[in-house]
Amino acid sequence: MTLEPFGARLRRAMDTRGPLCVGIDPHASLLADWGLPDTIDGLERFTRTVVEALADRVAVLKPQSAFFERFGSRGIAVLEQAVADSREAGALVLMDAKRGDIGSTMAAYAATYLDPASPLFSDAVTVSPYLGYGSLRPALDLARESGTGVFVLALTSNPEGAEVQHAVRADGVSVAATMLDHLRAENADAAPMGSYGAVVGATLGGSLGAARADLDINGPLLAPGIGAQGATAADLPKVFGAAVRDVVPNVSRGVLRHGPDAAALRASAERFAAEVREAVSAADPAAG
């Protein structure tokens, strides 16, 4: 089975449902805030509530795999069901797994999330390129073959990331810029948008500096940091410049804290999506 390319499907979902990705992050403190036990039953109730509330209306849902893996095989079963139910309701699923390895191991990770025969088959997956961009080739090739997408960590918002991502090669090009250059090449000639994206923190603001010019990769830019981490929709044009139309803002706690009330979850997601759409349209009238 080969789907329509992920970039085209994502562009359509963002245009029709609003440019927003909502994380599914059932960490222990959030389960407690919802009045749920930190057990497999609490995990299942939390996840089902989020999927039922949002999967028929948001563009992207992003389960954080680690919060399911910690419950072992039963947690993975909950994740499998969430992926299937979300996709059936029309949401694109971005598996936040941040996998990165070499050779046959990377190929196995790719098959886990991007092979249509896999129980965890998702529309896209996050990957780490810091064993070298070439180590991602099994995932990049399978994504192209299956019509799925890959989001590569490039300019993350955590302070520790700078020691690797801002490091400069002998030719004066930063590691992050190198990753963006690779992605731009993968997306060459894709329309309306490529399927190979970068993760770039919405909280970076002025620290991007000259790197802002490298963000036009003809592909999606997953932007964590909206909401609880301090960034707002209004910050997006300032951070991403001309690439703002391709930004997929990621909100997790900003929406999830309104649970377990399904109506409140929906209202929060719709409010964030409206704010993002307004900010993008103001910066790029053609995107309105």
Strand partners, 221: 198, 247
Report the mean per-residue pLDDT for the chain: 93
62 catalytic? Reply is no
pLDDT tens-digit profile of 244-277?
A: 999 999 999 999 999 999 999 999 999 999 999 9
- List, as one string, the DSSP characters of 44-85: HHHHHHHHHHHTTT-SEEEEBHHHHHTTTHHHHHHHHHHHHH
Q: Report whether pLDDT(283) > 80.
A: no
The pLDDT of residue 84 is: 98
Q: Are 221 and 198 in contact (CB under 8 A)?
A: yes
The pLDDT of residue 8 is: 98
Q: Are 193 and 221 in contact (CB under 8 A)?
A: no
Portion of the chain with pLDDT greater than 90, in percent: 83
Q: What is the pLDDT confidence band of residue 209, given thresholds at 50, 70 and 90?
A: low
For 91-97, what is the mean pLDDT? 98
Q: Report whether pLDDT(105) > 80.
A: yes
Task: Report the distance separating Cα 90 and Cα 127, nearest Å.
Answer: 24
Return the higher-pLDDT residue of 156 and 284.
156
Q: Are 218 and 188 in contact (CB under 8 A)?
A: yes
**Both structure tokens of 277:** 């759409």
Quote the distance between the C-alpha of residue 172 and its chain's center. Answer: 29
Q: Report whether pLDDT(232) > 90.
A: no
The pLDDT of residue 251 is: 94
Return the higher-pLDDT residue of 32 and 202.
32
Q: Are 220 and 266 in contact (CB under 8 A)?
A: no
Q: Report whether pLDDT(50) > 80.
A: yes
Tell me which amino acid residue 4 is.
E
The angle subtended at Cα 66 by Cα 141 and Cα 244, nearest 5°, is 60
Q: What is the pLDDT confidence band of residue 203, given thresholds at 50, 70 and 90?
A: confident
Q: What is the pLDDT confidence band of residue 230, given thresholds at 50, 70 and 90?
A: confident
For 125-143, what is the mean pLDDT? 97
Q: Are 165 and 211 in contact (CB under 8 A)?
A: no
For 214-218, what is the mean pLDDT? 93
Least confident piece of the model among 31-40, 81-90, 196-205: 196-205
The pLDDT of residue 208 is: 62
Instruction: Indicate which residue of 27, 48, 87, 98 is catalytic.
Output: 98
Q: Report whether pLDDT(210) > 70.
A: no
